[in-house]
Amino acid sequence: MKVIELKDLNKSYGKEPNVVKAIDNINLEIEKGFTAIVGPSGCGKTTLMQLIGGLRQPDSGKVLIEGTDISFFRKDDKALFRRRNIGFVFREYNLLTELNVYENIIFTLELDGRDVDREYIYQIAYLLKLDDKMDMLPVALSNGERQKVAIARALATKPKVILADEPTGSLDSKASLEVAGLLKMTCREFNQTAILITHDMEIADNAERVIYLRDGKVQKISERRKQI
């Protein structure tokens, strides 16, 4: 099932004669499930994620999420769409240090004035092995646990799409593989779509499909057999 569609997407930085074409006329469809986008530094991975997530405006082309073209939404409309449809997980956990785990997880929901489905929140916490840490402050957690809280926060709004930009960059190899595995598991458990940006092929191997990016262009797409 197609969830994201990119049509003739372009994004450049700088001015002539020093223009850098970060995204070069990409046409791409991303299906439901777990997708990794890989490539060397400077190939356009983060820019592509920011365009998909509505954090940046394309120079031209379209970004459609379940048929809705968000490319040129007004700023307020785009922010509202993001809060209700897209969950973000970044390399920096961006947790609020004065709030406990539970409060950090539901923060976006409360910011949007939405009701908190406590049963669902604790289901997420159980799957991520955070259920016994809900009253703890971030300072008392390991780096891997903080990243799990960031994933739980992204899942709390029941988004259509989760965008994870190098979320394992500050973790050791064991915790990195665990985070990738958790993203894959949550896609399956909650019927969602996750896109993981990484340069680490060992991490990308957890994905159902891998998109290889170079110089702002899609070089190839590798489909993997889904695990039951």
pTM score of the predicted model: 0.88
How confident is the model at residue 221, as a pLDDT?
94
Q: Does domain 2-223 have CATH number 3.40.50.300?
A: yes
Question: In the structure, what pLDDT confidence band is assigned to residue 174 with cuts at 50, 70 and 90?
Answer: confident
Instruction: Render pLDDT for 46-72 as a digit per residue (tens, 0 to 9).
Output: 999 999 999 999 999 999 999 999 988
Query: How far apart, in whole angstroms, are the C-alpha atoms of residue 20 and residue 23?
Result: 9
3-state secondary structure of 74: coil
Query: Which of 163, 179, 162 lies closest to 171, judged by CA?
Result: 179
How confident is the model at residue 226, as a pLDDT?
53
pLDDT at 136 over 90: yes
How confident is the model at residue 53, as a pLDDT?
94
3-state secondary structure of 5: strand
Instruction: Render pLDDT for 21-35 as a digit per residue (tens, 0 to 9).
Output: 999 999 999 999 999
Write the CA distances from 197 to 39, 100, 143, integer angstroms: 9, 28, 19
* DSSP letter for each residue of 141-187: S-HHHHHHHHHHHHHHT--SEEEEESTTTTS-HHHHHHHHHHHHHHH
Average pLDDT on 28-47 reads 93
Instruction: Render pLDDT for 78-107 as a digit per residue (tens, 0 to 9).
Output: 988 998 899 999 888 899 999 999 999 999
